[in-house]
Structure 1
Amino acid sequence: MVLAGGESRQNATMTYENIKLATPTAPRVFTGRDNLVTEGVEMLCKKGQAHLAILGAGGMGKTSLALHVMEHADVRKKFQEKRYFLPCEVLPDAPSLIQGLLQILKISISEGKDGYEILESYLQSSQEPILLVLDNFETPWYSSENQKAIQNLIEKIHDQGKVSIILTMRGGKAVGDIEWDKLGGKSGLPPLTLRAAREAFLSISPATKESEELDALLNELDCMPLAVFLMAQLSKRLPLEVLIKNWAKSKTDMLRNENQDSRLTSMNTSIDLSLNMLASQESGSIRILPLLAYLPNGVPFWTLNLPQLSPDIGNDLEMTILAMIDSGLIYEESTSLRMLSPIREYVQTKYPVTQHHLDQISSFYVQLLQNLPQSKLEAQDILEVHTANISTIFTETAPQQGHLEAIYCFSKFTKFYPQTLPILEKALTQEWNGEQQEHINIRFLKARIMQWMGYHKQAILEIQKIETTVGDAKSRRRYLPNEAQDGWKTEAEILAKCDKEMGVIYYRQSEYSQAVEKFTDAKTQFENIGNELGVADCLHKLGEIHCIQSQYSQAVEKLTDARTQFDKIGDHRGATQCLQRLGDLHSMKNEYSQAVEKLTNARTLFEKIGDQLGAAQCLGSLGHIHYMRGEYPQAIEKLTDAKIQFEKIGDQLGAAQCLRSLGDVHYMQGEYPRAMEKLTNAKIQFEKIGHQLGAAQCLRSLGDVHYMQGEYPRAMEKLTDARSQFEKIGDQLGAAQCLTRLGNIHYDQGEYPQAMEKFTDARTQFEKIGNQLWAACCLQSLGDTHYMQCEYPEAIEKLTNAKNLFEKIGNQNRAAECLESLDYIQLKLSMSPTL
């Protein structure tokens, strides 16, 4: 249908049939654009005359949106039968545009008059409002040799008082000097939200099930409508796992509807149209296109950073970028240049990035990481918009010696740990100047990140690899001269660090006996080599474990010794952390006045040495004390202030923990909707930064909220999921606590055998990890369950044992509860001897 060849465009005939055959219908599956449809309809119906521009990349659903606006009931009511759709992709210049308009308006040309004159006369004389939808207007605009004629025509139509226009066009700029109302914002039509993309995919392929894998695939497609549509069509014939595998291998080559190669049925064909448009307007852009396609984040603050990323672009950089935006290949989002994922993937195959580009990109990011501001929050904000680019350049290229310091800088930000791990994995494949020692440093760092993210088994494997490396070195060293052996005098220190890190991993998994063993061994080794800092660190950790196990006297002894050791070597931060832990210990013993005193002092000392993180943690602990004392307004105030402090310094983990604690405060006040909101948001934040433990704790608290509202099935679901997550990351304490809560739900519903099973299993787990407090609570619950089943001897036995255990660990309140229950049973037995 496109007019070409030797035939004159002016003399060619565009028939009504040609136009109608090129006109699509409004698609049945249309999601995520309701607000834009409403906006467009209101503009058309509330004004006497409206001119709408729907802009953006090819495949963004511009035509679909225009058709749905055009077919809306309110638009039909206003324009009646005078709604006309013109597919401009078959109209390459102004004369053919005129001819196409005459055809859809069903106007014949009188003898002696030309088409323009008749069209102008018709539009001027119309007494009824007319709506013209000019679809894919980039074809005549960019292919015409006389662009001015196109502009004059559209502006003349615009000036007709009864005519409203909907213009769809690739790129970010509409034609002419007309004040267009843009649907979708400055940068054009945005991609679909994940929810809308999922809904569209499942509408096309209803046999596919919702899953994390589907969402991941849709995100890989950047939720681009055409890509989603074509992938969904394929999913009717191929399983999702095959599509995911093929996307990783074939990318956009697979996004086509059978053997058709039109802009609506082939992703590559659609992108090629934009590439051809760009090549005809700005051939020099090909030099920068590979670089932009390589960067998943695009170029943040592009006017500042792009000249540094590619200093050899030339002086006409801005004009080149504007031409690329006009082609629809890239778009401007805030101050960043971005390219949608399917476009990126195709451009990379057609115009692959060169080694020169890669060197420029890596040099830019090395300098960026080495010159970050001292404020961690400011530095994090700068890096936030570059993280995918940093991950890509340091994992897909071979890191060089000069990159290592930059990688270490990036690894200081907990928020970016998920992106840091693959970078460190890549770094372990390289040879460094420090040889094995550098690999050991990288593995230690990798293990710490893994245990922070809850990957405890993988972290243990990393530590074991370090131990193997040192062991192999020892074997080789026996055959070396004495002077060569001296280079490995740090072996003992490395092995001590391995034991300490293993202790931390066991501690995070609530495996306290193994943790104590490792910390004790590490402490002994540090003492043998004279590493006083290592000794103090181990004492500190041993003190924390004693706290958790309710062994308060041993905890005080270890933490006091650690604080003395830190003071001795001048480590003020370590000493203050011990004071902070002593404050937490008083809080656990319900000695709140002493706890407040120590935490307040610790907070002051942290502020004095400039440790904002430690100060914020103390503030959060003070908020927790208010919570434990039932002083909820003060708790909310302190926790909110702590959350603000954490956010200010960029500690997303601390902020999420405060949000979770705020949810718990609302829960205790019976404000369940607010508790749900806070806990749900906290869970999202924990998941965002990869902190699986925090997310599992939020799930557990959400289960508690459902339980308190009598929503037992939902509570069971949340607590079961939480238990699975705790078990997955190796947190036996959290898993056992979920078991206890599940037992409570069975108990409340009178399901006593199931409750007994849960309480018994939980008690076994608590005893295994040495948590006497929770083990005693399970004994108490077992006693109550026996009582409810009239099993009085068993109830007396369990409650007596629970009372004794509570007294042993100093929890007089719970001991009194057990004694009260025992007295009640004895009274009941004395009144009814037959029992």
Structure 2
Amino acid sequence: MYAVSGGKALADALNGVSDLIPLPFLSSFVNIAIKVLEACEVLRQLPFSIEATAIEENLMDLQDRVYELMLAVVNTVPVNRKVSIALQDKVRRLQFILDNILLDIAKIKAQKKILLLFFHNLNKDRVDRCVNRLKAALEQFTVVSHLQVEDLLDKIRADYSAFGAQLNRIEDAVNQTTQPHNAPSAYPRQDMPPTTRRLFGRESLIDEIASLLSVESTSRVCITGAGGMGKTSVALAVVESTPITTTFKKEYIFWIPCIEAKSSDLLRRILYAQLRITAETYDSLDALIDELNATKERRLLLLDNFETPWLSGQDRDKINHILQRLAALSHVALLVTMTSGFIPGDIQWHHCPLAPLSAAAAREAFKAKYQDSAGGQELTEDGKELDEFLTSIGHMPLAITLAAASGGRLRVSPAELLRDWRTAGIGILSGHETLSMDETIRVSMERGVVQSNPDALTLLAILSMLPAGTTGDNLRWWAPFIASSPKTAVQTLRAAALVEQDDVPFPPARIFVRPTIQSYMSQQNRIPPEIRDQVHDACYKFVLDHRSIPDDHKFKEDLAALATEGTNIQGLLMDMDVQNLCPNALDALLTFGFYQSWTKPSTKLASHALKLAQAAQDDPNLVDPHGAARHVAEAHRCMGRNLFGLSWYAKAYKQFEEASRLFQNLPDLALAGECAMDALQMWRFMKKGGDELEPRVQAAQANLSHNENDRYHVARGLLGLGEFLWWRKRWTAAIDALSEARIIFEDLNCSASAARSLYYMARAYSRLEGSSKGLLAAREAWDKAEECGEKELICDTSRITARYLMSSEAYDAALPAITQSLAAARAAGSPNRVAQSLEIMAYYCAARMDLSGARVAYEGARAQFAKRTSTALGRRGVARCAENVDKLRELSELNQDSFADLRKPVPWY
């Protein structure tokens, strides 16, 4: 088994006494034998096909027989008396056989890779012939083929007692072949831990790493990731995989636990202990390297938890030197696991960063562990609560294992675990001391590399308050008070795997903290109050620096900026309460509420703003009653805007009415007029009222136009009047008012209001037989909507453009407008707008005779209209789409007659 190392040791010993005994022919024989052993070893590493494993087995048999032959010759040839000519001839004939075997091996080795793969039978025969020749040679030499090593040594001692010291070296060398290395007493050796029964979602990664390690040229692999990501479990699974157990003998696979190796000295001692190597001193790695390099037998070293020596100690250069010396041995494969975001040392690693589990793998892992802990009882409640819980803990394997084990033992449902997580956080993820999530995180925070940078923990606290992370560019907003470069602090935290970075260059890259670390930092006042205040102040400043309305030239740019931090901003603003309101807090809250109304409407934050504004107004210590009243009025308007975006027209009407009343009392007549116009628009959407609304429209317009020098609000009044006149079917008057408004808006460079004016002009032209003017107005409206960036406006203007084009049967030209309308509607989150865009898409599919596409789109439109059956638009939309679905269901194909029988979308213009 250890023929090469044993043969070399024997040859070294014989060479050492060659000047005392007349054995020149014997020395030559042994040298040839060693060359054959080494050539066989090289040949075993070549890429034979997977069907040709018999070749490797026969090569091993050949090595064993050569070794036996070499020992037999040494045992037989006497050195204390004259050697006969006949015996010398026998040894020379054996050497001749070995020479021919060496030539055969060289022929196999010289073959091209493609021949090795496809002509394995030819090579197998050649190796078989070599084995048979040696077998015959052994029989002719009249020795037993399988000579026992112990008997041989006893006989050699008896025959060569004059050379006791040298023969002891032979005995030691041969005894070392019974196990790779001997354990020292300087440091206790630890057994390799058992592997996890099954690793969900890691199968392909395990196979990839095993394949890399099996080939010498790629056998440097480093697995990195946050604590609890399952690095050790993956590494142990790799070690037990078939490619590894096939490539490496069991006794040559070593686990090196580095978790206590806080210095290079400790790391060396652990290496000696785990590799079972003795030395006179452990202050140097020389003896260990010599032992590993004594043979080219492949070995695998798994250096587990290497972050301890690399990140905790003060002698990284010495640690790096140890790594480099190990890596210099090409036949020694290295597999390293590190709680870090970076690979160690100046070595060409194959880096395998470990990501969280996929949603599907996380579910499987949770359910399997739950069932084990519940005594075999399966988890039945595996709906959206389980998915939400797994998302909340970041799909991290250790967190999943701990939560599932706890849940299974107590028969706790995922819904209960989710509630516990929201209240207790990481406290629910406890196991024994070495497995608890908080202990894993604490150890990472206490690494020397983190403690050496005073800004690192400050930045960690800041990032822990940002659930969505932030970009390198935006760190200047969140952490302006960090003394050193934020990039340096990020690098430090990434080294300890406390923060992570998207795989793109730093400035635009997203820097984020895993949910488990966020939860850990939020507990026990780990984030100092002063940092919390600074982060909230930074949030308010960021929002207010990007405050604008759709008619501002920087509106589109501000939308994009706020979108990058939307989740973080909402989280911080929702954390606000009336006890800690600062001067800018409510302004920022309301600004972001309006931003949501233009992008993705939601009543959650708007309701929070209204509640805080009212509470602040009721504060007995109020110092600015006028400012408090304005905040309440703005909060009602903000709530109205978000309700309108969600198609809740009746609720939005009440909010706009109240906002108008409050602004009238301030007084702020322009905003009172704006809110009144918004309320009247909701009234129209509810299909209520008629002539009695005209006085209210005139009053709203008067408020907007009370300052004749304020051209913007004068034009807003004309726009509101034009919309009302359009609704009252007074098309010409509507176009006149809207045209006048449009001229002012374009002069003021107000793209959004100009687009809205053009939109209603296009709808009015359709009633006056002005299709060419209407299409032109619709296209201009769409262009200006794109220019300002408001999603609802883009949806409306592109949809009416599509209607005009479809009316003239320009279907190919209509498709981009329909696609844009649907995309904008989905981005805005308005059910009615999504429904209207889907209905237009369905009608387009029918016009193109696409029966299946029309059916799917009409079903989708009906489902969206059904979400708002409280409105006339929703109820009528459901009925219209259902009727068309029924008609299409009866058809096997569409034609012009069946298409003409479908009801058109309403409104068509």
TM-score, structure 2 normalization: 0.62
RMSD: 4.7
Q: Identify the residue that residue 808 of structure 2 maps to in structure 1.
A: 629
Q: Identify the residue that residue 58 of structure 1 maps to in structure 2.
A: 227
* Aligned 8 A contact 1:503 1:517 in 2: no
Offset of 1:379 from its aligned partner?
2.9
Which of 253, 258, 265 is equivalent to 2:427? 253
Residues 557-600 of structure 1: CA deviation (Å, up to 9, x unaligned): 45235326637987866576444323234558996434324435
Distance change (3 Å), C-alpha of 1:633 and 1:131: farther
1:360 aligns with 2:500: no
* Aligned 8 A contact 1:703 1:718 in 2: no
| Mapped partners of 1:275, 1:247: distance in 2 | 22
1:159 aligns with 2:328: yes
Task: State the SS of the aligned residue for 1:52.
Answer: strand
| Mapped partners of 2:769, 2:213: distance in 1 | 68
Which of 439, 443, 447 is equivalent to 2:636? 443
Distance change (3 Å), C-alpha of 1:74 and 1:512: farther
1:566 aligns with 2:748: no
Q: Identify the residue that residue 691 of structure 1 maps to in structure 2.
A: 830
Residues 613-640 of structure 1: CA deviation (Å, up to 9, x unaligned): 779975664444334433233234x53x
* Aligned 8 A contact 2:609 2:635 in 1: yes
* Aligned 8 A contact 1:289 1:351 in 2: no
After TM superposition, the structure 1 = structure 2 runs for residues 764-803 of structure 1, keeping only pairs within 5 Å, are: none
After TM superposition, the structure 1 = structure 2 runs for residues 310-325 of structure 1, keeping only pairs within 5 Å, are: 310-315=479-484, 319-325=488-494
Q: Identify the residue that residue 28 of structure 1 maps to in structure 2.
A: 198
1:502 aligns with 2:679: yes
Aligned AA (1:176): G
Q: Identify the residue that residue 397 of structure 2 maps to in structure 1.
A: 225
Offset of 1:491 from its aligned partner?
8.6
1:738 aligns with 2:878: yes
Q: Identify the residue that residue 817 of structure 1 maps to in structure 2.
A: none
| Mapped partners of 1:575, 1:305: distance in 2 | 37
| Mapped partners of 1:568, 1:180: distance in 2 | 66
Task: State the SS of the aligned residue for 2:302.
Answer: strand
Q: Identify the residue that residue 497 of structure 2 maps to in structure 1.
A: 328
Which of 298, 305, 309 is equivalent to 2:475? 305
Residues 467-511 of structure 1: CA deviation (Å, up to 9, x unaligned): 7868xxxxxxxxxxxxxxxx937498877655533333355xx52
| Mapped partners of 1:62, 1:716: distance in 2 | 49
The worse-fitting range, judged by mean Cα deviation, of 155-164 and 581-590 is 581-590
Which of 757, 775, 785 is equivalent to 1:596? 775
1:275 aligns with 2:417: no
Residues 181-226 of structure 1: CA deviation (Å, up to 9, x unaligned): 2113xxxx33344454345434545625554443333332233332
Report the structure number with the largest CA radius of gyration: 2
The worse-fitting range, judged by mean Cα deviation, of 291-300 and 197-206 is 197-206
After TM superposition, the structure 1 = structure 2 runs for residues 285-684 of structure 1, keeping only pairs within 5 Å, are: 285-301=456-472, 305-306=475-476, 309-315=478-484, 319-333=488-502, 334=504, 335=506, 336-372=510-546, 375-397=554-576, 398-403=580-585, 405-407=587-589, 409-410=591-592, 411-412=594-595, 414-415=598-599, 417-418=601-602, 421=606, 424-425=609-610, 427-428=612-613, 429-431=615-617, 433-456=626-649, 458-460=651-653, 462-463=655-656, 466=659, 488=665, 490=667, 499-507=676-684, 510-513=685-688, 516=690, 520=694, 522-526=696-700, 536-543=718-725, 545=727, 554-557=729-732, 559-563=734-738, 566=741, 577-586=756-765, 592-599=771-778, 621-636=800-815, 639=817, 658-659=819-820, 682=823
After TM superposition, the structure 1 = structure 2 runs for residues 159-178 of structure 1, keeping only pairs within 5 Å, are: 159-178=328-347
* Aligned 8 A contact 1:702 1:718 in 2: no
Offset of 1:52 from its aligned partner?
1.4
| Mapped partners of 1:561, 1:280: distance in 2 | 69
Q: Identify the residue that residue 88 of structure 1 maps to in structure 2.
A: 258
| Mapped partners of 1:589, 1:39: distance in 2 | 70
| Mapped partners of 2:875, 2:246: distance in 1 | 62
* Aligned 8 A contact 2:831 2:864 in 1: no
Offset of 1:305 from its aligned partner?
3.4
Task: State the SS of the aligned residue for 1:125.
Answer: coil
* Aligned 8 A contact 2:831 2:865 in 1: no
Q: Identify the residue that residue 141 of structure 1 maps to in structure 2.
A: 310
Q: Identify the residue that residue 764 of structure 1 maps to in structure 2.
A: none
Distance change (3 Å), C-alpha of 1:141 and 1:742: same
Task: State the SS of the aligned residue for 2:616.
Answer: coil
Distance change (3 Å), C-alpha of 1:436 and 1:660: closer
Offset of 1:134 from its aligned partner?
1.6
Distance change (3 Å), C-alpha of 1:524 and 1:99: same
Offset of 1:277 from its aligned partner?
1.8
| Mapped partners of 1:448, 1:402: distance in 2 | 22
Aligned AA (2:688): S
| Mapped partners of 2:342, 2:627: distance in 1 | 54
* Aligned 8 A contact 2:559 2:595 in 1: no
After TM superposition, the structure 1 = structure 2 runs for residues 808-819 of structure 1, keeping only pairs within 5 Å, are: none
Offset of 1:725 from its aligned partner?
2.4
Offset of 1:343 from its aligned partner?
0.3
Task: State the SS of the aligned residue for 1:53.
Answer: strand
Aligned pair count? Answer: 667
* Aligned 8 A contact 1:49 1:163 in 2: no
Residues 136-189 of structure 1: CA deviation (Å, up to 9, x unaligned): 1123434556544433322221111112212111122333222322113xxxx3
| Mapped partners of 1:579, 1:63: distance in 2 | 64
Distance change (3 Å), C-alpha of 1:624 and 1:100: farther
| Mapped partners of 1:688, 1:133: distance in 2 | 49
| Mapped partners of 2:463, 2:733: distance in 1 | 56
Residues 405-426 of structure 1: CA deviation (Å, up to 9, x unaligned): 5555543462365485366346
* Aligned 8 A contact 1:687 1:695 in 2: yes
Offset of 1:58 from its aligned partner?
0.5
Q: Identify the residue that residue 366 of structure 2 maps to in structure 1.
A: 201
The worse-fitting range, judged by mean Cα deviation, of 383-392 and 740-749 is 740-749
Offset of 1:293 from its aligned partner?
2.1
Q: Identify the residue that residue 132 of structure 1 maps to in structure 2.
A: 301
The worse-fitting range, judged by mean Cα deviation, of 230-239 and 114-123 is 114-123
Offset of 1:92 from its aligned partner?
5.0
* Aligned 8 A contact 2:838 2:858 in 1: no
Residues 386-415 of structure 1: CA deviation (Å, up to 9, x unaligned): 223323333324443345555555434623
Mark the runs of 5 or more structure 2 residues left unpaired by the alignment.
Answer: 1-183, 371-377, 618-623, 707-713, 892-897
Offset of 1:252 from its aligned partner?
0.2
* Aligned 8 A contact 1:60 1:190 in 2: yes
Residues 370-397 of structure 1: CA deviation (Å, up to 9, x unaligned): 5459543433333333223323333324
* Aligned 8 A contact 2:263 2:315 in 1: yes
| Mapped partners of 2:780, 2:218: distance in 1 | 70
Residues 102-161 of structure 1: CA deviation (Å, up to 9, x unaligned): 5655x4637899995553234213434333222211234345565444333222211111
Offset of 1:712 from its aligned partner?
12
| Mapped partners of 2:813, 2:445: distance in 1 | 61
* Aligned 8 A contact 1:282 1:320 in 2: no
TM-score, structure 1 normalization: 0.67
| Mapped partners of 1:291, 1:332: distance in 2 | 15
The worse-fitting range, judged by mean Cα deviation, of 594-603 and 47-56 is 594-603
Q: Identify the residue that residue 676 of structure 1 maps to in structure 2.
A: none
Distance change (3 Å), C-alpha of 1:274 and 1:491: closer
Aligned AA (1:230): L
| Mapped partners of 1:700, 1:622: distance in 2 | 15
After TM superposition, the structure 1 = structure 2 runs for residues 101-140 of structure 1, keeping only pairs within 5 Å, are: 101=271, 105=275, 107=276, 109=278, 116=285, 119-140=288-309
| Mapped partners of 1:280, 1:367: distance in 2 | 30
Aligned AA (1:415): T
Distance change (3 Å), C-alpha of 1:687 and 1:810: closer
| Mapped partners of 1:469, 1:371: distance in 2 | 27
